Chain A
Amino acid sequence: MIDKRLNTIQQIFSELNGISIETSFSSDLEFNIVGKIKVPVESTDDCLFFDVKIYPEYPLKRMDTESITFSNSDYLEYGHVMGDGSICRHTSHQTDLKKKIEIDINSLKRWIWKYYLNKDNDKHYEHLILQPKEFKGNHFSFLFTEVDHIFSNQQFGFFEFSKINNGLYHEKVIFNNIIQEFRDSSSKKVTECKWSSAIKQLSNKDLGIYVFLDNPPAKMGKFIISNWEDLEGLVNQNLHNFLYSVQKTNLKLNGKPIPFLIGYRVSDKEIHWQVAILEIGKFPIESYKEDKVWKGGFIDEDIVWGITKNCSYDYFFGRGRLTENITKSKILIIGIGAIGSMVAKTLTRCGCTSIDVVDYDIKEPENVCRSEYSFLSGICNKVDDLSNELFLISPFVEVGIINPILFHVDSKIAQGLNSTNTELQKKLLHYDIIIDCSTDNDLLYILSKLELNRLITLSITNNAKDLVCSVEPKSYNWVMNQYENVLENEMENLHNPTGCWSPTFKASYNDINTLVQFAIKHINIKLSDSNKNLRNFVLKTNESDVFSIKLDEF
């Protein structure tokens, strides 16, 4: 079998136009087929040579990487060449061996033309290429955001980080950490990462050290340096003194890993941090006497690079979020049962950062199946449980819990005593958007009378047949008319658990969330265009043929 495959590949390569086989293909111990080809560069006399390695998966992909590599470490200086000298390409799916080889050779020729011949440099910044290494068998990661501070060249000091969950990184353990703030060498705070207050309050804190450089610690512009000696020319003696004293004052902690951040500017607006893991007691430094002065220097030792990630808001939500008209709003969600918790989670995942919630209800295990709560947090206040769920998702969301008793006093008791809700109105004007998911008609009646920035109400009929969403001011009558006169809301077939005095509608997580997401999408489209007017609407489902949702705008 292997021989047959080898022969086929050899045959195909030999028949290809514009290349020739330099070293015949053979099979290695891991069943890869290896060889060397020669590719003449069009309109020049140059020829390029590439080691070719074809993995057994070929022409299928290997996980998410190509299963054929063309490499030559002589070309490291050119764009899109990886550290091992392999050319970085992405090709399309093809199951036919011959066609796939043709595609791959063409993409190799495209690389030659674009990056070898024309020395093209892509406009967008490519991070330095590095392969994270283990420290004593473990991986380390450090997550950070942009900061409101401009670091200067050679600036150094301590940084504070919080340890979060450990996990597995392929077969190894990974220790995950969040960078909190940067301090100078005398431990005075310089700046902090822009996390939510919940992240900033994480305990389990520890210190590391950092240095900031104006230029990336790179070789050939794209590979991170691999030996401590390579750093020597980029830093000055102050840093060495600092490293020396840090190690000396922490002698008790011998053997403990300590992260060393190396920061650098990647654009006018952005800096990046890489992390090297040092071991206290074994810092890669030495001191020597020069002209009667003690000096520090790095020793010849490989750097153990860890993993870092810029989690700034724009990266974190870079793959998709709602319109700024929503994400930048101060939002209040009233009622966080099935609908309210889905709305809250969706808004959080879609980039909202200011969400207050109010609900007096307790989360019970039977709530879990159709809302955004988890079983393992047991029986507890819905507001506390949901705010924890939201903190787990977004490091930028600020969740405020509104006291339900005060809210009740301001709304219903004030209404009963003096028929006004001026206090409530004043408080609610703090919000840009109020989303009422409480299905509380009394409350809707009160809210409808107030002048609010934007009030949205969401509710569904039994079996999630319809979703009623009011978005226009003073919509109490409209909502009531939908339920009382327009929609069929079959009330006989409600879910009545044993001994329960408050029956609830029947519908699954899937039933409800289908409509909630549809509604949010519609609202998002309308609010993202100032020429569009958001109007009350009803979503009507139809299951008679294929399932469909119709949006009736009012």
Chain B
Amino acid sequence: MDKSLHLDSVIKTHQITKEEQLLNKHKDKNKEVKEALEQKYESNIYSPFNSGSYAKNTAMNTKFDFDMVCPFKRNAFGSNGTLKQMYEDVFDFLYEKYKDDANVRKQKVSIGIEFFADEDGDIVKIDVVPGRELNQDQYKDDENLNLYVYYKYGNFDQGSERIKTNVQAQIKNIKDRATKEKDSIRKVIRLLKVWKNTKYNNPAKSFFLELITIKAFDNKDVSGNLWGKLETVLQYIRDEVTGESFTLKDPGNGSNDLIDTLTTTERQTLSDDMKNMLERIEDNDENIKTYFPENSKFLEEEESDNKYENKGNGFYSNPPKNERFG
């Protein structure tokens, strides 16, 4: 089998535009949540914005990453207000507002709102990430935010207030690269996300996979066909992610190291997973199908897109000179 052809089909069947209805529902709910937050916090909040993979051009249709960052003013919860107060306040507000329509729960740095399935059986999920500017009115200038860590997140301890970041810079960095190098970086990121979804409770965040892919492209000669590129990135992760000196700088804050979102054993598992995957695909091409599965929901549609095709210069040509039939 042709591994690159398969991978192309994986990407095609995972294109977010294929789930237009669900995408629109996400956009609508997103707007609704955003307006509710703005109404509630009025002048204490800057405009919430999208930071998920949809914003970064790396989304796929089996998992919509709709993350909404809510930048709060420094004194939004009083001049002595803590990040914990901010986090709890936003949670309480969202819980009260949506408890009859959704499961609202506390996650690592965000508050997840998972709306109950609608009449089409569609489920909309939005993660709200509360953040607070470092000093009053400073956000306009530096876009920096402090996040609250609700429970242990890799090496970040529960309750720590360590994560300071510039989400806008994060988005811009990935979106720029993913858009500019859409046949390489963007495809590889999407494939890694497809893989991540095959693993139960995979601790590697999408953001982590995005950054490590970019780092692989920056440090390795990633070339060849799609499989060749993906293979190089997988090898890079396998070889580097367990290294003691390996770092993954947060484009939003150079002193944040995204490798800290994984524990030592999680890093080892990630490396082992890469090793196993490369070995199994080397053993037999067919194994690529379960590491990077097509989205079967759109596979049929793909097939009904079949056409009689020509090789690019129209249909007219002569038959080959001699052919034998039996």
Q: Are B199 and A481 in contact, CB atoms less than 8 angstroms apart?
A: no
* Separation of A477 and B287 alpha carbons in the complex (Å): 11
Chain A residues near B276 (CB-CB < 8 A): 535, 552-554
Q: Are B289 and A485 in contact, CB atoms less than 8 angstroms apart?
A: yes
Chain B residues near A554 (CB-CB < 8 A): 276-277, 280, 287, 290-291
Q: Are A485 and B286 in contact, CB atoms less than 8 angstroms apart?
A: yes
Partner of B279 from A477, A533, A552 at Cβ < 8 Å: A552
Given contacts A552-B279, A554-B276, contact A481 B287 (CB under 8 A): yes
Partner of B284 from A472, A486, A535 at Cβ < 8 Å: A486
Interface string of B199-219 (1 = CB under 8 A from A): 110000000000000000000
Enumerate A314-347 residues with CB–CB distance to B below 8 Å: none
Indicate if A445 sits at the interface (CB-CB under 8 A): no
* Separation of A533 and B203 alpha carbons in the complex (Å): 12
Indicate if B48 sits at the interface (CB-CB under 8 A): no
Enumerate A165-179 residues with CB–CB distance to B below 8 Å: none
Whole-angstrom distance from the CB of B270 to the nearest CB of chain A?
A: 10
Tell me which of B199, B269, B287 has the highest count of chain A C-beta atoms within 10 A of its own C-beta.
B287
Secondary structure class of chain B's binding surface, majority of residues: helix
Chain B residues near A472 (CB-CB < 8 A): 198-200
Q: Are A486 and B293 in contact, CB atoms less than 8 angstroms apart?
A: no
Q: Which residue of B lies closest to A484 (CB)?
A: B286
* Separation of A531 and B198 alpha carbons in the complex (Å): 20
Indicate if A313 sits at the interface (CB-CB under 8 A): no
Whole-angstrom distance from the CB of A529 to the nearest CB of chain B?
A: 9
Indicate if B143 sits at the interface (CB-CB under 8 A): no
Indicate if A473 sits at the interface (CB-CB under 8 A): yes
Chain A residues near B280 (CB-CB < 8 A): 552, 554
Indicate if B283 sits at the interface (CB-CB under 8 A): yes
Whole-angstrom distance from the CB of A421 to the nearest CB of chain B?
A: 15
Partner of B265 from A473, A531, A553 at Cβ < 8 Å: A531
Chain A residues near B277 (CB-CB < 8 A): 554
Chain B residues near A474 (CB-CB < 8 A): 198, 200
Indicate if B240 sits at the interface (CB-CB under 8 A): no
Q: Are B290 and A478 in contact, CB atoms less than 8 angstroms apart?
A: yes
Enumerate B222-273 residues with CB–CB distance to A below 8 Å: 265, 268-269, 272-273
Chain A residues near B291 (CB-CB < 8 A): 554
Q: Are A535 and B273 in contact, CB atoms less than 8 angstroms apart?
A: yes
Whole-angstrom distance from the CB of A154 to the nearest CB of chain B?
A: 55
Whole-angstrom distance from the CB of B300 to the nearest CB of chain A?
A: 16
Whole-angstrom distance from the CB of B262 to the nearest CB of chain A?
A: 13
Q: Are A481 and B289 in contact, CB atoms less than 8 angstroms apart?
A: yes
* Separation of A433 and B283 alpha carbons in the complex (Å): 30
Enumerate A506-554 residues with CB–CB distance to B below 8 Å: 531, 533, 535, 552-554
Interface size on B, residues (CB 8 A): 20
Chain A residues near B289 (CB-CB < 8 A): 477, 481, 485
Interface string of B4-21 (1 = CB under 8 A from A): 000000000000000000
Interface string of B270-306 (1 = CB under 8 A from A): 0011001101100110110111010000000000000
Q: Are A533 and B290 in contact, CB atoms less than 8 angstroms apart?
A: no
* Separation of A335 and B290 alpha carbons in the complex (Å): 25
* Separation of A535 and B291 alpha carbons in the complex (Å): 12
Chain B residues near A552 (CB-CB < 8 A): 276, 279-280, 283
Whole-angstrom distance from the CB of A26 to the nearest CB of chain B?
A: 70
* Separation of A486 and B280 alpha carbons in the complex (Å): 10
* Separation of A477 and B295 alpha carbons in the complex (Å): 12
Chain B residues near A533 (CB-CB < 8 A): 269, 272-273
Interface string of A176-196 (1 = CB under 8 A from B): 000000000000000000000
* Separation of A472 and B286 alpha carbons in the complex (Å): 19
* Separation of A499 and B283 alpha carbons in the complex (Å): 40
* Separation of A251 and B286 alpha carbons in the complex (Å): 81
Q: Are A486 and B287 in contact, CB atoms less than 8 angstroms apart?
A: yes
Chain A residues near B279 (CB-CB < 8 A): 552
* Separation of A531 and B267 alpha carbons in the complex (Å): 11
Q: Are A481 and B286 in contact, CB atoms less than 8 angstroms apart?
A: yes
Q: Which residue of A lies closest to B288 (CB)?
A: A481
Whole-angstrom distance from the CB of A454 to the nearest CB of chain B?
A: 10
Given contacts A486-B284, A531-B265, A535-B273, contact A477 B293 (CB under 8 A): yes
Given contacts A481-B287, A486-B287, 13 further A-B contacts (CB under 8 A): A472-B198, A472-B200, A473-B200, A477-B289, A481-B286, A481-B289, A486-B284, A486-B286, A533-B273, A535-B273, A535-B276, A552-B283, A554-B287
Residues of B within 8 A of A (CB): 198-200, 265, 268-269, 272-273, 276-277, 279-280, 283-284, 286-287, 289-291, 293
| 23 residue pairs A–B, Cβ–Cβ below 8 Å | A474-B200, A477-B290, A477-B293, A481-B286, A481-B287, A481-B289, A481-B290, A485-B284, A486-B284, A486-B287, A531-B268, A533-B269, A533-B272, A533-B273, A535-B273, A535-B276, A552-B276, A552-B279, A552-B283, A553-B276, A554-B287, A554-B290, A554-B291
Q: Can you list the 5 inter-chain pairs with the closest CB atoms, starting with the nearest?
A: A485-B286, A531-B265, A478-B290, A473-B200, A486-B286
